[in-house]
Amino acid sequence: MKDFLFNLSNTPKFLGVITLLNYETLVNSILNSFNMLSFDNDINNKNLLLVDLGFKVGFKNKYRFLVISLSKDNKVNLINDKLINNYEYLSLDNSLSIIDKELIIKEANDIAKKNMDKVKYNIYSLV
């Protein structure tokens, strides 16, 4: 069973969405795996990844979305398997336009709904 999914994003700001599927999986291990993926980003010049932690922390939790900046070679900067200062939690408050918020949430929710059968150990299966 996979621990995460990667989907290219249709939003104007993000290259892709990483969706955690396993409650027990550490984000850093997912990012190490992501660095093994190969894709061409020269076309759209997006350098942000959205990590959806909804199955880990809850879909209405303010820490649901993690934004990670990629290096020029489309890699996540990790030192000793830990993220360095190139990430932040995405706040869905008034700092984003309504269109951006709706796009991000709709895209992340669509991915989650389509892949519920692949989810292992999430907060909803433990209830």
For 1-53, the pLDDT digits (tens) are 688 888 888 888 888 899 988 888 888 777 777 766 655 555 566 778 889 99
Please check the confidence at residue 123 and state whether its pLDDT lies above 60.
no
In the prediction, which pLDDT does 81 show?
Answer: 55
Place of tokens 């990790």: 78
- Residues facing residue 82 across a β-bridge: 79
Work out the pLDDT band at 126, boundaries 50, 70, 90: very low
Residue-level pLDDT at 52? 93
> Token digits for 110?
């669509």
Closest to 34 (Cα-Cα) out of 78, 93, 65: 78
CA–CA distance, 33 with 18 (Å, rounded to integer): 11
State the pLDDT confidence band at 84, using cuts at 50, 70 and 90: low
CA nearest to 57, candidates 112, 117, 114, 2: 112
Query: CB neighbours of 66 closer than 8 A, spacing ≥ 6?
Result: 27, 50, 51, 53, 87, 88, 89, 90
Q: What is the token pair recorded at 4?
A: 């995460």
To which H or E segment does residue 54 belong? helix 54-57
Average pLDDT over residues 59-74: 83
The model's pTM: 0.78
